[in-house]
Structure 1
Amino acid sequence: MASEPVDVVLSFGGRPPTRERADAARNRLKVLVAAEKLFASANATDVTMEDIAREAGVGRATLYRRYPDPVSIAQALLGEHETELQQRILFGPPPLGPGGEPAERLSAFYGAMVDLLERHLHLVLGAETGRARFRTGVYGFWRKHVEVLVRASRIDAPASVVDVLMAPLAPELYEYQRGLGLSTAEIADGLRWLATRTLTPPPVNGLRPH
C-alpha cells in the first residue's frame, strides 16, 4: 500500500514556517525553478503566468492557487536574499549594521544594494518595478531604514529627502546605468558620494561635529 504523502516544513522569504504536503512542495519548487530560469533568460516584465506554468509543467490552476501573478513569484524568489540583507542591517556589524555614523551606514546600505541588484537584477525587475515597487513590504523596510538614518544625521532635511535617497535604487535605473557601461564600483561610488554629501552635517564654527 502506498504511503500517504508526508508533510514538509518550509520557510521561504522570511515568512514563518508552514506545513506543506509533499506533492504541493514539489509543484512549488518546480514553479520557482521555472520562474527563475525565465526571469533570467528574458525580459522579466514580459514573463507571463502561462509561460511559467508551461515551463514548470503544471496546470495554470495549480499555479494560481499559490501565486496571483508573476510579480508574487519573483518576490518569493527574491525574498531569501532580501531577508538576509535585512538581518545584516538590523543585527550585523557596522557600518551596515548599528553603530556607525548615518552617512557611513547609508553608504554601506547603498553598497549592499548594488551588490544585490547586480546578482539578482532579473528577479528585482520582475518583483519591484513601477508602482509594484512601492507596494512591497521590503521597500517599506528599506525606506524606513533610510528615514531613520536621515533623522539620526542631525541635518535639517525635508521629509521628502527620504524618497530622493531611495530613488537611485530603482532597478530600472540600475539596469540603464549598467547598459551605459558603468561598472558596479562606479555606481556604488556615486551612491557613496550622495550619502556623504547628504547626511554629513554642516560644519559648526568651521568644525565638523563628532
Structure 2
Amino acid sequence: MEEKPMIEERRERADAARNRRAILRATEELLARHRPEQISMEQVAAAAGVGKGTVFHRFGSRMGLMVALMQERAYALEEAVASAPPPLGPGAPPEERLMAFLDAIVDVVGRNKGLLAALGHAATAAPRPEWKEQGERRGEDGDHPVYRFWHSHTSALIVARRPDLDGELLAHILLGSLQSEPVLRLLERGEATRLAASLRVMASGMLAAPALA
C-alpha cells in the first residue's frame, strides 16, 4: 500500500493539534460555568465542534481530559521555574522563590476555576480500571503529574531554606489546602489574592518555626 503524501500527513497532524486546542478550550469554558460533575464528554464535543468519538479517542475519559487540561495550563509555570527571571526562576533565595511559586500556583488555579475540583471529582468517580488506564500519566502514589511537580518544587525550596524541617510533608499541607471545598469556593468567588496572601502567611510561619528536636 502506498504511503500517504507528506503534505497530507502534515495536514492530519495540524487538524489533530487544532482539535486538541479546541477541546481543551471548550472544557475550560464549560468549567467556568458548570460544576465538574455537570459536564459530559458529549457537551465538550458539542462546544468544541468535534465528534464525541474524537474527544474519547484523544483523552480516553473525562478524568483524562481534566488531567490534560491542567497539564496544558500548568506547563508554562514549569517552564518559568526553570528559566524565568527571579524570584520565580533561578537566582533568588529559596524563601523568595517559594513565595513567588505559591503566588503563581494560585494564579494558575484562579484562572482555571473548578479545575482542581474537576480533578478531585474525576478521581473519586473513576472506577479502578479507569485509574489503571491513566497509569502512564500518574505516579506510584496516585498523584497526577502537575501535583507531583508542584509538590517536588515546593518541598525542595522548603528544604533548601530549612533542611531541618519535613519539607515533603509540609509541601503536602500547603498544596493540599488548595483542594479543600472552602478554598475552591473562595476561588469561585474570585478571591485568589486573598488566598495567595494566606498561603504566604502559612509558608512564612513554617519557615520561621523553631528547629525540630
Measure how far apart 1:84 and its partner are: 0.8
Name 1:89's counterpart in structure 2: 81
Q: Deviations over 1:128-149 (max 9, x none)?
A: 5575795311111111101111
Which of the numbers 155, 164, 170 marks the counterpart of 1:147?
155
1:1-210 map, 5 Å: 6-8=8-10, 20-25=12-17, 27-127=19-119, 131=123, 135-158=143-166, 159-170=168-179, 172-178=181-187, 183-200=191-208, 202=210
Unaligned runs of 5+ in 1: 10-19, 204-210
Q: Spell out structure 1 runs of 4+ moving beyond 6 A.
A: none
Structure in which a larger fraction of residues adopt helix? 2
Q: CA RMSD in A?
A: 3.2
1:81 maps to a residue whose letter is R
Identity %: 34
Flag the 1:143–1:173 CA change in 2: closer, same or farther, 3 A: farther
| Structure 2 CA distance for aligned equivalents of residues 74 and 131 of structure 1 | 10
TM superposition score normalised by structure 2 = 0.72
Measure how far apart 1:35 and its partner are: 2.4
Measure how far apart 1:69 and its partner are: 1.4
Worse-superposed segment, 170-179 or 66-75: 170-179
TM superposition score normalised by structure 1 = 0.73
Flag the 1:51–1:105 CA change in 2: closer, same or farther, 3 A: same
- Alignment: residue pair count: 190
